[in-house]
């Protein structure tokens, strides 16, 4: 059985759409099956998710954990920088608009310490927004609401390019 539903707060538009596929005959829903190199990479990879929107942050954490990743999270740039000082992570997934700076600034600060692969996550998807993200060093710019398939493809592409 396959069920697709929007993930959002009751008063907002969907942050992303989730499709849950039941692998059993019981009424237990499971995350989409992860196969190939993404599944293997997830076993040992940690993602830092930075987003000031509570529902998006919660949904991304749950989704990425279900996909097998370790997940660290922050609601702003300052918290993300503190986490980066104390914890190792393999991928940055950051919102562009943060309350105390931007994801662009965050990536610039992080890259002074090490070269971390990064994906931008934003509600803004104009060509100029995407170009700014790419110029800042983000490998891809995901526009909210992002589908699970699109997120998985972006992570897989990032994994293939990373050493």
pLDDT digits (tens, 9 = 90+) for 75-124: 999 999 999 999 999 999 999 999 999 999 999 999 999 999 999 999 99
Nearest CA to 47 out of 13, 85, 90, 95 is that of: 90
**Cis peptide before 145, with omega less than 30 degrees from 0?**
yes
CA atoms within 13 A on the CB side of 147: 6
Answer positive or negative: Cα dihedral of 141, 87, 31, 97: negative
CA angle 133, 109, 78 (to 5 degrees): 100
> What are the backbone angles phi and psi of residue 36, rounded to the nearest 5°?
65, -150
pLDDT digits (tens, 9 = 90+) for 132-155: 999 999 999 999 999 999 999 999
> What is the DSSP pairing of strand 16-21 with strand 2-7?
antiparallel
pLDDT digits (tens, 9 = 90+) for 60-73: 999 999 999 999 99
DSSP 4: E
Q: What domains appear along the chain, each with residue ranges and CATH number?
A: 35-161 (3.40.50.2300)
pTM for the model: 0.75
Nearest CA to 151 out of 53, 22, 77, 42 is that of: 42
């Amino acid at each position: 059985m396959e069920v697709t539903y929007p993930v959002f707060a009751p008063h907002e538009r969907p942050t992303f759409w989730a499709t849950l596929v039941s692998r059993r005959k019981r009424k237990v829903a499971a995350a989409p099956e992860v196969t190939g190199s993404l599944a293997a990479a997830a076993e040992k990879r940690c993602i830092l998710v930075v987003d000031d929107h509570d529902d998006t942050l919660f949904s991304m954490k749950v989704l990425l954990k279900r996909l097998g990743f370790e997940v660290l999270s922050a609601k702003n740039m300052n918290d993300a920088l503190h986490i980066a000082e104390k914890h190792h992570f393999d991928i940055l997934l950051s919102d562009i608009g943060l309350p105390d700076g931007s994801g662009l600034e965050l990536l610039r600060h992080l890259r002074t310490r090490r070269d971390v692969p990064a994906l931008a996550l934003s509600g803004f998807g104009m060509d100029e927004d995407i170009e700014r993200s790419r110029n800042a060093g983000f490998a891809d710019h995901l526009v909210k609401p992002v589908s699970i398939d699109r997120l998985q493809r972006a992570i897989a592409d990032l994994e293939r390019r990373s050493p």
